[in-house]
Structure 1
Amino acid sequence: MIKKIVLLVTVLLLLSSFAAATVDKPYLTTTLMKYEPQPAEPGKYVKVYIKLENSGSGTSENVLMKLVPEFPFSLDPGKSTDEFVGLLGGGSFHVAEYNLKVDEKAVEG
């Protein structure tokens, strides 16, 4: 009888560990989809499209995208790259569009 109880408890523990391993979790990745015009030209603007994808199975909450431009790219004064996405379910994506200025001192191409 003791052996049966021990076996039953062991089986229950194994099943609960499998259930815990399948918990839904989000997995967020970003990808540069495209930019226009190509090539970007110094002193002009370029539109950048960034894809945020949740390839996990869980929902991600309170998602905020923020682009931090570095040389040779900048934003016009007073503009923000913050984009509140909110909920991003598993297997879904969001595309953000940013309008960046290319510095005049940038190398062409």
Structure 2
Amino acid sequence: MAKITYIEHDGTEHQVEVQDGLTVMEGAIRNMVPGIDADCGGACACATCHVYVDPAWTDKTGERSSMEDSMLDFASDVQETSRLSCQIKVGAALDGLIVRLPEEQG
């Protein structure tokens, strides 16, 4: 299990334990973190699970796939650290991960 901190745009923090093998999105949904809707259920077919990965964690979360990059075209306020949380698999290496949620998803 990895502890992941989700920070809403207003600064409200939600620290949850997410089982290895799930995605950051699934961890948010299962723990009712507001701001991650996941309309497509994690199929990388929407951008309603858009997060900003804390810069200290970008190497550990990996790079965006071309499909993920295309889907982020539909998200608002995309930044260098933007990711779709459905595309980030949780494992021991992500224990302590911090992600922030965009204001438009709050």
Q: TM-score, normalising length from structure 2? A: 0.29
Q: Which has the higher strand share?
A: 1
Q: Which has the higher helix share?
A: 2
Bigger relative contact order, structure 1 or 2, given CA contacts below 8 A and separation 6+? Answer: 2
- If you compute each CA radius of gyration, which structure gives the higher value, 1 or 2? 1
